[in-house]
Amino acid sequence: MGRVVIHATMSLDGYIAGPNDDLNWMSDYVGPNKVADEVIGMAGAIVGGGRFFRLIEKRLEQNLPYGGAVKAPVFVLTHHPRGTIIKTGVTFHFITDGFESAVKQAKAAAGDKNVMLFGASVAQMGLRTGLADEIQLHLAPVLLGGGIQLFGQPGTGHIKLERMQVVESPKVTDLRFRIVR
Amino acid sequence: MGRVVIHATMSLDGYIAGPNDDLNWMSDYVGPNKVADEVIGMAGAIVGGGRFFRLIEKRLEQNLPYGGAVKAPVFVLTHHPRGTIIKTGVTFHFITDGFESAVKQAKAAAGDKNVMLFGASVAQMGLRTGLADEIQLHLAPVLLGGGIQLFGQPGTGHIKLERMQVVESPKVTDLRFRIVR
């Protein structure tokens, strides 16, 4: 049975996007990373929020999740019904009946592989609902000073974690935690 | 010449105090920690904000910085002039002419040892003024979901860091970064 994994590259001050939704900051922190390769190899489906999709939508071929290296289906949580689209072999389903439904459908699609939660809103829903099992972060040595925080918004409550793995990759520090129920 | 070091125990979601200024959460993450011992051994003076002081003031003997293990003087940045006080061998000076003055006086007191910046407001001043040299974090495996973030407030801008040390201590992950100017 696959797990539900919050997966993000995050600055030391907790941001996954800089001011004005900037994602370009991340390019400095992409490089050889065995942990990321393993995590991506286990990705069987992706759940992303509407904001995540709007950010990547404009140049979808260039901005596919995991650079298009994973052909796993993407379940986009949205309020706007829309037909399934396929870009360079990656299928995007648009889910309008809520996060738990999106995770359920993603789990069915992922089989024994993992469901990856993308973006702050979906990550926080994973924490609030108790559906997230793990957190896999690539911690970038930078302070962005503003933007969108992965965990920042209050409301998820006090959640204990268990450290599972720490790896010093060349450009980031990979941290993996299990969420303790 | 000593360095100016932002030093904190921080949750994975970036908080140093929980909701309602709660500091009790930290007690779960205190334990044998060689990195902390080394850092504390190099502490020659402490600069803290008024909020930090108000939080510890009520039970000062119990709440001394570093549990009273360090007798380094504490320079409290405040708007309220107040005479120097001494508690269990620790001297508290109250500085009303600004952060840079507090750091200057702390550096003079610390000599070859380091000046430690305590609390979110002072840490952020250290970043904004460029006076902070390093960041030493004890990253606790917990999400607090609210409270006071060490770096969260926008305004410090994009600051590159260089990873210097990662240590898996029993209860926390110790991360040390140099601030790249």
From the candidate CATH numbers 1.20.1370.20, 3.40.430.10, 3.60.70.12, 3.40.640.10, the one assigned to the domain spanning B1-12+44-140: 3.40.430.10
pLDDT tens per residue across span A101-126 = 999 999 999 999 999 999 999 999 99
φ/ψ (deg, to 5) at B176:
-120, 130
Long-range contacts for A157-161 (Cβ within 8 Å, ≥24 apart)? A157/A128, A157/B143, A157/B145, A158/B18, A158/B25, A158/B142, A158/B143, A158/B144, A158/B145, A159/A127, A159/B142, A159/B143, A159/B145, A160/B141, A160/B142, A161/A135, A161/B12, A161/B141, A161/B142, A161/B143
- B-chain CB neighbours of A13 within 8 Å are 14, 149-152, 156
| Packing angle of the helix pair A120-129, A99-110 (nearest 10 deg) | 90
Beta bridge partners of B128: none
Answering whether pTM is above 0.90, one says: yes
Residue bearing tokens 């990321």: A36
User: Which residues in A have their CB inside 8 Å of a CB on B?
Assistant: 12-14, 18-19, 25, 127, 135, 137, 139, 141-146, 149-152, 154-163, 166, 168, 173, 175, 177
Structural domain boundaries of chain A?
A: 4-179
End-to-end CA distance of chain B: 18
Cβ contacts of B128 within 8 Å, gap of 6 or more? B155, B156, B157
d(CA B171, CA A178) in angstroms, rounded, equals 14
d(CA B40, CA B5) in angstroms, rounded, equals 11
Tell me, what's the ipTM?
A: 0.94
Asked if the model's pLDDT at residue B60 lies above 90, the reply is no
d(CA B5, CA B35) in angstroms, rounded, equals 14
- CA distance, residue B40 to nearest chain A CA (Å): 22
Q: Which of B10, B11, B12 to mutate to test the interface with A (most CBs of A within 10 A)?
A: B12
CATH 1.10.10.10 fits A4-179, yes or no: no
Nearest CB to B166 within list A149, A173, A177: A173
DSSP string, A39-53: HHHTEEEEEEEHHHH
Amino acid in the structure at residue B89: G
Per-residue pLDDT of chain A (181 residues; tens, 9 = 90+): 799 999 999 999 999 999 988 889 999 999 889 999 999 999 999 999 988 888 888 887 778 888 888 899 999 999 989 999 998 899 999 999 999 999 999 999 999 999 999 999 999 999 999 999 999 999 999 999 999 999 977 677 899 999 999 999 999 999 999 999 8
Q: A138 with A36: CB under 8 angstroms?
A: yes
